[in-house]
A = this chain, B = another copy of it.
Amino acid sequence: MYRIGELASQCDIKADTLRFYEKHGLLAPSSRSGSGYRLYTKDDASRLRFILRAKAVGFTLNEISELLSIELDKANWACADVKGMVDNKLEQVTAKIAELTQFANSLQSLSNACCGGPDSAEHCSILEALESEDKQLSAKNETSHKGHHHAVK
């Protein structure tokens, strides 16, 4: 059993943040001490680490509680529903990985374009590296237009 401050410092967040997460239904301590102190179990800590990982990776707290509600509520869901929601999130994550990889490529060509020596960077064609990377992308996107299409009036 951890008290709020212990769990917080363990996970490098503030106690306030844990109270905030509790208020917003993301993580409640499994129990309270006689005097009302929050007591968190190892499972609670586990759940918190899941939340923090999800957050680090760009999910909003709302998206995270959606994900977690699946688990809280699982008796009231059909297996197929649960699998559907999870697979849906998984798709988002996969898309995010693809975007990140693309981004890493941009940065890599930026780095490669730069000699790394002591001279002025004026002649490092960084912008060109970015642009060429971007051109590859838009060329790809012209043929297969992903995402929700918006009206162009």
Give me the interface of A with B, judged by CB distance under 8 Å: 9, 12, 43, 46-47, 49-50, 53-54, 56-58, 70-71, 74-83, 86-87, 89-90, 93-94, 96-97, 99-104, 106-108, 110-111, 114-122, 124, 126-127, 130-131, 134-135, 137-138, 147-148, 150, 152
Contact = CB atoms under 8 A, between A and B. Distances in A.
A71 B82 CA distance: 46
Contacts of A138: 49
10 contacts: A47-B130, A49-B138, A53-B103, A54-B103, A56-B58, A57-B96, A78-B118, A79-B115, A82-B126, A86-B111
A80 B117 CA distance: 5
